[in-house]
């Protein structure tokens, strides 16, 4: 379904991992005292989750391996924004990666709630990444990107959907970039980065709205159970 080239995706992963590394250290987020305030449109959160440990899990449900790299990047980006806006204590996404690798044979068949429980979460923000692709305009030297995800919050104790209760497939989030010329430093990776940023913004803002872009000291990411 997606059209990402493996080399370009690897470059995107390296670039965004480097960016995310600024904020994540072990099981905590560095508490940088930023106070920049940017004006923006006022919108309400679609859902305000309880202040319980939350795991962010992004994947393509039908074929997780096809979008694993992009999914891991979105895990990190969404986690950062949720911590920044004090939505809930968030399980470090590195723990999810480690757990998936250590349990690779059974991970794909595990229930979402079971994964959350294994990592010490009380709720799971689950996003089914239905689409993430770039496409070019034939002969024009231009490209644009598209992404689509379906989002749910799962209660770990019961396995039931906390939100949304009226949309079976999950709340839809769709993003698209305009065509941009692939010249003067712009490349397919540039488009991919734009799609990833728009998608992470769209996912995260479901839970804190867009009343502002305040950057404040962060609360620590939730430790894994037993630590």
Show the low-confidence residues of the chain (pLDDT under 70): 1-42, 138-139, 210-227
Summarised one tens digit per residue, pLDDT across range 131-152 is: 999 888 766 788 999 999 999 9
Could you say which architecture CATH assigns to the domain 6-204? 3-Layer(aba) Sandwich (3.40)
What pLDDT, on the 0 to 100 scale, is given for residue 21? 36
What pLDDT, on the 0 to 100 scale, is given for residue 18? 42
| Range 30-34, long-range pairs (CB < 8 A, 24+ positions) | 30/218, 31/217, 31/218, 32/217, 32/218, 33/217, 34/215, 34/216, 34/217
Find the largest Cα–Cα distance for the chain: 57
What pLDDT, on the 0 to 100 scale, is given for residue 160? 97
- In 3-state terms, what secondary structure has residue 206? coil
Summarised one tens digit per residue, pLDDT across range 18-39 is: 444 333 333 433 333 333 344 4
Where is 106: in which H helix or E strand? helix 104-107
Where is 17: in which H helix or E strand? helix 6-21
Q: What is the pTM of this model?
A: 0.76
**Residue with tokens 């970039």, as numbered in its chain:** 177
């Amino acid at each position: 379904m997606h059209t990402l080239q493996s080399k370009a995706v690897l470059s995107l992963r390296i670039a965004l991992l480097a960016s995310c590394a600024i904020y994540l250290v072990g099981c905590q987020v560095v508490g940088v005292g930023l106070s920049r305030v940017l004006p923006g449109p006022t919108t309400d959160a679609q859902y305000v989750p309880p202040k319980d440990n939350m795991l962010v899990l992004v994947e393509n449900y039908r074929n997780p391996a096809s979008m694993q790299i992009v999914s891991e990047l979105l895990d990190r980006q969404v986690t950062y924004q949720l911590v920044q806006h004090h939505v809930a204590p968030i399980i470090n996404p590195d723990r999810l990666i480690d757990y998936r690798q250590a349990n690779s044979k059974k991970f794909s068949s595990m229930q979402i709630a079971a994964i959350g429980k294994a990592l010490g979460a009380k709720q799971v923000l689950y996003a089914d990444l239905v689409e993430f692709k770039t496409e070019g305009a034939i002969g024009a030297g231009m490209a644009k990107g598209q992404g689509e995800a379906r989002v749910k919050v799962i209660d770990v104790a019961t396995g039931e959907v906390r939100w949304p209760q009226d949309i079976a497939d999950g709340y839809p989030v769709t993003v698209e970039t305009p065509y941009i010329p692939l010249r003067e430093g712009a490349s397919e990776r540039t488009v991919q980065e734009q799609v990833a940023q728009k998608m992470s913004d769209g996912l995260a803002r479901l839970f804190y709205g867009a009343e502002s872009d305040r950057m404040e000291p962060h609360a620590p990411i939730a430790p894994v159970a037993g630590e």
